[in-house]
Amino acid sequence: MISLEKLTTYAKQTGFIYQGSELYGGLANTWDYGPLGSLLKNNIKKAWLKKFHDENRFNVLLDSSILMNSQVWIASGHVGGFSDPLTECKFCNTRHRADKLIEEHSHYTINPSAWTNQELHSYMMAEKVPCPNCGKVGWTEIKAFNLMFKTSQGVTESAGNTVYLRPETAQGIFINFKNIQRTTRRKVPFGVCQVGKSFRNEITPGNFIFRTREFEQMELEFFCKPGTELEWFDYWRKYCIDWLKGLGLKQENLEFHDHDPKELSHYSNATTDILYQFPWGFDELWGIASRTNFDLNAHQTQSKESLEYLDPETNERYLPYVIEPSVGVERLLMAFLTQAYEEEVLEDGQIREVLKIHPALAPYQVAVLPLIKKRHETKAVELLEIVSKFSQSTYDETQNIGKRYRRQDQIGTPLCLTVDDETLEHNTVTVRFRDTMLQEKVYINDLEAFIKKHTAF
């Protein structure tokens, strides 16, 4: 498996991910997604929406505001309780998340998510958990650090104008539950999909793009009748991991972590994390939680507006229970890159860098390459205009054809279309396959069906 250091270097050199504000020395834990990274992110989101919205009859779509009335976050518990356990090294004064230090020190054999601050501190001192920065052991008492980014709306700064950058997209769905149900006339069970930016003032962001302060979430809130939630929980649990495997993540790099009942959040009666084997070991990729009716009940209480659902078949009124599969786009992107990157030793001893990513996720599905620029450029440009209408395509005419193949292998392009003399004479192109390096002649008139067959989800 590729190391974290090499993955970071590869992502920058190829144009997937750059350091944020690099021109001015950078800004810690910010990342810009380059030409390839932007395409990969979009393809991941398209694949998720296709599976969870387009192909699922239960679900509809929402795009809610990033800025919301501060009462939303008071009701949801984020203002009062959305915090991480903060501790400070007494020797070098660096600040860290106590629970993450314990997880790493125990090699992820201990999950301290449900521990009190005192239990966290006692363990760290008894087990002599060292500071990652200076290596010494000595920790301050643990305090709750709120992760919400706070700002002011309007021309004056006052408590009455305080707003927050949303730390999750889910609450925008919950407060629109009645609007969505009324306007779509959906019957429970139904779900609401949303893709959007979230912001958390993480204490110790890191591991490249794994934990950042600005990130994109793909969340589904699935509303169901109380008493049926655990059946739906199992349904979505399987649905999520099947989707991951269908896009190329290997079974041996995936595992479920079912939370012990004593570890569950106060709002949950079942939670599973899908873990992926990142370069540092298994870590959370996707969280799936049965949230009961906690959120709808909290907003109903705070707003004094009924959010109950009237069952048209039984005339029963109730607050639906909710199943929430929530995944970060950046973590998925990192998992796909980690899984797909390979180095192959060829017969001549050369090393071939190849990104064997699912063709539908690849930044470009097709590269058009004129064999000899002077002779084949005009026809190659015409071909590019044709294939760009039904695939994400790129064009490369610099250096010899072998080096151009290698560049496309490196960034994961599954199909290279080489324009040569036979193209001019017979209207065929030479198609080269990324994974096998085998070649095949295809008529230009047959290309659309051919490319779609080899690059579809």
Classify residue 94: in a domain, yes or no: no
Question: 234 falls in which pLDDT band (50, 70, 90)?
Answer: very high
| Residue type present at position 157 | E
Residue 158: pLDDT over 90: no
Question: 261 falls in which pLDDT band (50, 70, 90)?
Answer: confident
The answer on 77 and 8 residing in a single domain is yes
The number of distinct structural domains making up the chain is 2
The answer on 371 and 255 residing in a single domain is no
Phi and psi at residue 213, to the nearest 5°: -85, -20
Classify residue 93: in a domain, yes or no: no
Classify residue 117: in a domain, yes or no: no
Classify residue 204: in a domain, yes or no: yes
Classify residue 195: in a domain, yes or no: yes
**Average pLDDT over the chain, rounded to whole?**
95
The pairing of strands 415-419 and 428-433 is antiparallel
> pLDDT at position 193, please?
98
> pLDDT at position 306, please?
97
Classify residue 347: in a domain, yes or no: no
The answer on 75 and 219 residing in a single domain is yes
Domain boundary among 319, 337, 355: 337
The answer on 274 and 383 residing in a single domain is no
pTM to 2 decimals? 0.92
- 385-409 pLDDT, tens per residue? 999 999 999 999 999 999 999 999 9
End-to-end CA distance of the chain: 25
- 27-41 pLDDT, tens per residue? 988 999 999 999 999
**What CATH number did the domain enclosing 59 receive?**
3.30.930.10
The answer on 383 and 300 residing in a single domain is no
> pLDDT at position 425, please?
96
Range 17-43 burial, b when 16+ CB lie within 10 A, else e: bbbbeeeeeeeebebebbebbebbbeb
- 97-111 pLDDT, tens per residue? 999 899 889 987 888
Is residue 223 within 8 Å of residue 320, measured between CB atoms? yes
What are the tokens at 31? Answer: 């990342």
Classify residue 169: in a domain, yes or no: yes
- 73-97 pLDDT, tens per residue? 999 999 887 888 999 999 999 999 9
Proportion of the chain above pLDDT 70, given as a percent: 99
Of 134-143, 146-155, 391-400, give the lowest mean pLDDT range.
146-155
Is residue 431 within 8 Å of residue 439, measured between CB atoms? yes
What are the tokens at 307? Answer: 């959010």
Classify residue 134: in a domain, yes or no: no
Domain boundary among 337, 354, 386: 337
User: Diameter of the chain by CA atoms?
Assistant: 79
In 185-308, which ranges are continuous DSSP H helix? 229-246, 294-303
Domain region containing 445: 364-455
Taking the C-alpha atoms of residue 49 and residue 55, their distance in angstroms, rounded to an integer, is 8
What are the tokens at 173? Answer: 């769905």
> pLDDT at position 296, please?
98
